[in-house]
Structure 1
Amino acid sequence: MTGADPLLASLRAAVTAAPGDVALRLHLAELLLDAGEREEAVTHVATVLGQEPGNPGAAALMTRALAAPGSGPVPEAPTRPGPPSGFDWAAAEHQVQDVVGPRFAPDDVIGQEPEVVPIGPPAGAARFTVERPALRLADVGGMDAVKKRLEAAFLAPLRNEQLRALYGKSLRGGLLLYGPPGCGKTFFARALAGELGAGFLAVGIHDVLDMYAGNSERNMHDVFLAARAAAPCVLFLDELDGIAQKRSTIVGGVLRQVVTQLLAELDGVGADNEGVFVLAASNMPWDVDPALRRPGRFDRTVLVVPPDDAAREAILTYHLRDRPVENVRLKPLVARTVGFSGADLAHLCEAATERALLDSVSTGTARMITQDDLLAAVADLRPSTGPWFTTARQVALYANGDGAYDDLVAHMKKHKLM
């Protein structure tokens, strides 16, 4: 049985492994014809003709495969490209119609406009989802100091092209949002995209880093491909300190190559970043590779601090809006939650809800969430931002020679944190 021929089996496996090897595929087709496996041979020859329509060896093998049994000797292969004389085009087209398209369009489409097929995103970029956020900075309660800084550093130059040209304001470079965890850096980035009417592509460390060599750099390249394909687009790199650590502290080559790739993408090496606005967030910007902080990269920074009074009231209102509350006064809660992050406030509302729920279970009577539940939850909680400011204080005191953290120093002095 030919299917069990070890030589044919080996050649089939080799063609599967190297489908673009024309000589190997034709050799297999010739052996298949010798073994009487005509249909399989025709399939391989048709594949070659689909790749190289003028291949003389493929044309000769197709002629041999289509020749009727007993029709005489098979003509020699031509010395130049093109089918031999007497080639049966009708029979050949019937054999390869599923592989090779028609040579000419039907008469009924002559004179019609050709169909325009839109080109999709580049290969590798399709796995990233670009949002179109409806959020605006006005939807963020309070935090006026942060909003003003974002307006001056990012939005104002983008909104007024004539003034930007007058003052020679460049749009090159990215914006780095930094501050304690849970204070809304991602929220602000999404609001910025909404202000610009741009797409929003959020990328985290898990989207980039890969255990296999070369994949992490390829992932970083695909991220920028997706952002460029969706321009105008805000590309948001979360946890930048995890993706782009200082190369001087990295042991091993994977992360080092990721940083190098990110630098190349930011500089637009081999591609144009027009319409791609790069934002990043970091809890520990002092751990980010210094090369990323140079002009033209992440050369602008905005400190996102814990929510102020107005912001805390808005956050508490948001998290209590769908809960059964009764006679809750927010002002005393706002006064007792200075230094709480947005995540802390969400946890506070959850803890108060749990307290009321457990009490309802124990008494057998459902009751509303009251002021006492919220105050009791506040008494049990401490702001999670404390450890961050302890670390930041050391940076502000001993690693601010270039003034990169002047806004952090000013904030900590204002709130007596240093």
Structure 2
Amino acid sequence: MTDDRISALRKAVEANPDDVLLRLVLAESLVASGETGPALDQYVVLLDQRGLPDDQLVIVGELAAANGRLALLRNCLEAARQAGIVEGTGRLQQLVDEMITARSGVKVKVGPESDDELFVTDAPRETTTFDQVGGMEEIKRVIHRMVILPLSRPELYEKYGRRSGGGVMLYGPPGCGKTLLARATAGECGLPFVNVRIEDVMDPYLGVSERNLHAAFERARANAPCVLFVDELDALAFARHKHGGSESRRLVDVLLQELDAIGSENEGLLVLAATNAPWDVDEAMLRPGRFDRVIFVPPPDEPARADILSVVLKGVPTTGLDLQELAKQTPMFSGADLRALVERSVDRVIDEALTTGAEPPLSAQHLTAALPTVKPSTLDWLHRVRSYIEFANQTERYDDVAAYLRTKDVRRRLS
């Protein structure tokens, strides 16, 4: 943290002494620069401002709990004790104790131009189940054995000294249901689902992305047992040897620490992740105890495509549709491709309705007419992964993809 930034923050706080969020940013910046005493002074001011009502104290407490600020407060208190700074720490310690007891989670986006926007993070139990996931029966069986069974039969695993939890990485072409599988896994276990998207974490301001990532894990721990799903893992954990920037390395380091539960407790926390580019994920993520269980999610096969079409067409007026035949005509289509096909077919129905004044149902004719306008998006991914498998699969980690590429239908489509 540069002196210029801290100096600018001090001036901003002096100009806006009642701005709670701005003062918290200054306090965190001071902690990051090792100026713990001045940072403590800022926290104490937040608590001891003249005329600060109780409801604002609650807001300060919630803000302090967000994005890892609870840990900063603890560190600040400890450093203050070691330095002999005692004035004001009693009320600060009381607030920390109250936050620990409440275990409330609040996500705050921090930055010079950000809004003071709070998001309550109590995670409801997921209701999606495997019945709502078309096809992929073999993958469901693998996930049930690797993920669900340890949670549904903990006594069996305890008997053999096998701990539940851990990390599972789902990978494959985009649009093939990785996120839906993760949601359904949480639903099958009857657990809350905490979804960490790239836009929820990444921030241009120094240190904020790391705090956002920590906050996501803290929210999951507060809701444990639960499923924490990290989408686009390759973006958050891009291989450090491929990236020269220190910002990316710091984010990978924080994610590793969270997975290893350094300074925290991950009991009851099941971490799932998805990526379209597993070869770009830092190797340290894939060692035992982290994302050591890797599952390939291929494009849906023919029966799965028929199931997906039935789900997508639910509620749409149709006539004379043969979903099995349509599934045969859409090899290598992802679930997203099938949805796009249905949407373009519905557009044709709407155009017809506007032209004729009638309201015709969706027919096979509409789908057949729209079929040439949608191409399977999985082919580009499969071409890329074929090159990777051919030249960079020495660890044999992606042998399941290699076996898939050797199947007759896939070879024909990629030739």
**1:241-256 superposed matches below 5 A:** 241-256=234-249
1:397 pairs with 378, 383, 390, which one?
Answer: 390
Identify the residue that residue 179 of structure 1 maps to in structure 2: 172
Identify the residue that residue 290 of structure 1 maps to in structure 2: 283
Identify the residue that residue 202 of structure 1 maps to in structure 2: 195
TM-fit CA distance, 1:415:
4.3
- Report which stretch shifted further, 368-377 or 384-393: 368-377
Identify the residue that residue 371 of structure 1 maps to in structure 2: 364
Identify the residue that residue 114 of structure 1 maps to in structure 2: none
Identify the residue that residue 208 of structure 2 maps to in structure 1: 215
Change (3 A) 1:191 1:123: closer
| Alpha-carbon distance between aligned partners in 2 of 1:238 and 1:208, rounded to the nearest angstrom | 11
- Report which stretch shifted further, 216-225 or 250-259: 250-259
Task: Check the 8 A contact 1:348/1:378 in 2, yes or no.
Answer: yes
Task: Check the 8 A contact 2:154/2:164 in 1, yes or no.
Answer: no
Matched, 1:346 2:329: no
Identify the residue that residue 324 of structure 2 maps to in structure 1: 331
2:297 pairs with 292, 304, 317, which one?
Answer: 304
Task: Check the 8 A contact 2:165/2:268 in 1, yes or no.
Answer: no
Identify the residue that residue 79 of structure 2 maps to in structure 1: none
| Alpha-carbon distance between aligned partners in 1 of 2:404 and 2:180, rounded to the nearest angstrom | 21
Matched, 1:380 2:373: yes
Structure number with bigger Rg: 1
Task: Check the 8 A contact 1:247/1:256 in 2, yes or no.
Answer: yes
TM-fit CA distance, 1:163:
2.8
> What TM-score, normalized by structure 2, do the two folds share?
0.71
Number of residue pairs aligned between Structure 1 and Structure 2: 321
Identify the residue that residue 192 of structure 1 maps to in structure 2: 185
Q: Give per-residue Cα distances to partners, 1:75-128, cap 9 Å, x unaligned.
A: xxxxxxxxxxxxxxxxxxxxxxxxx9xxxxxxxxxxxxxxxx961414648734
**1:6-45 superposed matches below 5 A:** none
TM-fit CA distance, 1:337:
1.1
TM-fit CA distance, 1:371:
0.8
Matched, 1:274 2:257: no
Identify the residue that residue 27 of structure 2 maps to in structure 1: none
2:219 pairs with 226, 232, 249, which one?
Answer: 226
Change (3 A) 1:20 1:335: closer
Task: Check the 8 A contact 1:239/1:283 in 2, yes or no.
Answer: yes
Q: Give per-residue Cα distances to partners, 1:134-187, cap 9 Å, x unaligned.
A: 111233232111111112221222222233234443335300000110011110
- Report which stretch shifted further, 139-148 or 283-292: 139-148
2:231 pairs with 221, 234, 238, which one?
Answer: 238
What secondary structure does 1:174 align onto?
A: strand
| Alpha-carbon distance between aligned partners in 1 of 2:394 and 2:49, rounded to the nearest angstrom | 69
Matched, 1:119 2:112: no
TM-fit CA distance, 1:44:
7.9
What secondary structure does 1:176 align onto?
A: strand
Change (3 A) 1:136 1:257: same
Q: Which runs of 5+ in 2 are unaligned?
A: 1-13, 24-37, 53-90, 92-99, 109-117
Task: Judging by fraction of residues, say which structure has more helix.
Answer: 2
Identify the residue that residue 158 of structure 1 maps to in structure 2: 151
> What TM-score, normalized by structure 1, do the two folds share?
0.71
Q: Which amino acid aligns with 1:303?
A: F
Q: Which amino acid aligns with 1:394?
A: S
TM-fit CA distance, 1:306:
1.4
Change (3 A) 1:322 1:168: same
Q: Give per-residue Cα distances to partners, 1:296-353, cap 9 Å, x unaligned.
A: 1000011111122222112211222222211112121011112111001111111111
Change (3 A) 1:417 1:309: closer
| Alpha-carbon distance between aligned partners in 2 of 1:165 and 1:175, rounded to the nearest angstrom | 20
Q: Taking every aligned residue pair, what percent have the same amino acid on both sides?
A: 40
Task: Check the 8 A contact 2:147/2:165 in 1, yes or no.
Answer: no
Q: Which amino acid aligns with 1:401?
A: Q
- Report which stretch shifted further, 289-298 or 306-315: 306-315
Change (3 A) 1:20 1:149: closer
TM-fit CA distance, 1:227:
0.4
Q: Which amino acid aligns with 2:130?
A: L
Task: Check the 8 A contact 2:192/2:223 in 1, yes or no.
Answer: yes
Task: Check the 8 A contact 1:173/1:298 in 2, yes or no.
Answer: yes
| Alpha-carbon distance between aligned partners in 1 of 2:49 and 2:303, rounded to the nearest angstrom | 72
| Alpha-carbon distance between aligned partners in 1 of 2:313 and 2:172, rounded to the nearest angstrom | 26
| Alpha-carbon distance between aligned partners in 2 of 1:180 and 1:267, rounded to the nearest angstrom | 28
What secondary structure does 2:166 align onto?
A: coil
| Alpha-carbon distance between aligned partners in 2 of 1:45 and 1:331, rounded to the nearest angstrom | 72
| Alpha-carbon distance between aligned partners in 2 of 1:20 and 1:14, rounded to the nearest angstrom | 19
Q: Give per-residue Cα distances to partners, 1:362-413, cap 9 Å, x unaligned.
A: 3343322211111121233211100000011112222211111011111121
